[in-house]
Amino acid sequence: MLKDEEEEYTRRQKEGLPKRHAHLMGPRQWDYNNELADLCGIPRIPSNVSLLYDLCHQRRTFNLMVYKRDEFFLSNQGNFYKSDD
């Protein structure tokens, strides 16, 4: 386990991630979540959840003052859409 941790830290350094940001997951979180789910033998997080999370993160980045008022709904087909309010 410690070896895996060291390898991951080294990989992040090679990617140019500053030491102070080595703990941040960013888009890596989805592969990590999938790996954990597979190891535990449980279903993976549905892709629409990760897509919605990424969209909300992007909206927060560019619309800081209004993103909290966004409302999203999940359709019966598993797609999400934003309320037009």
Coil, helix or strand for 36? Answer: helix
pLDDT band for position 85 (50/70/90)? low
Residues 37 and 1 in one domain: yes
pLDDT of residue 71: 87
* DSSP one-letter string for 11-70: HHHHTT--GGGTT--TTHHHHHHHHHHHHHT-PPPPHHHHHHHHHHHHHHHH-TTTGGG-
Residues 36 and 64 in one domain: no
Tell which residue, 13, 17, 57, 12, has the closest CA to residue 32: 12
Residues 37 and 53 in one domain: no
pLDDT of residue 44: 96
Range of the domain at 55: 46-85
The pLDDT of residue 5 is above 90: no
Over residues 25-84, the pLDDT tens digits come to 788 889 989 999 999 999 999 988 888 888 888 888 888 888 888 888 888 777 877 877
Q: Are strands 80-82 and 72-74 parallel, antiparallel or unpaired?
A: antiparallel
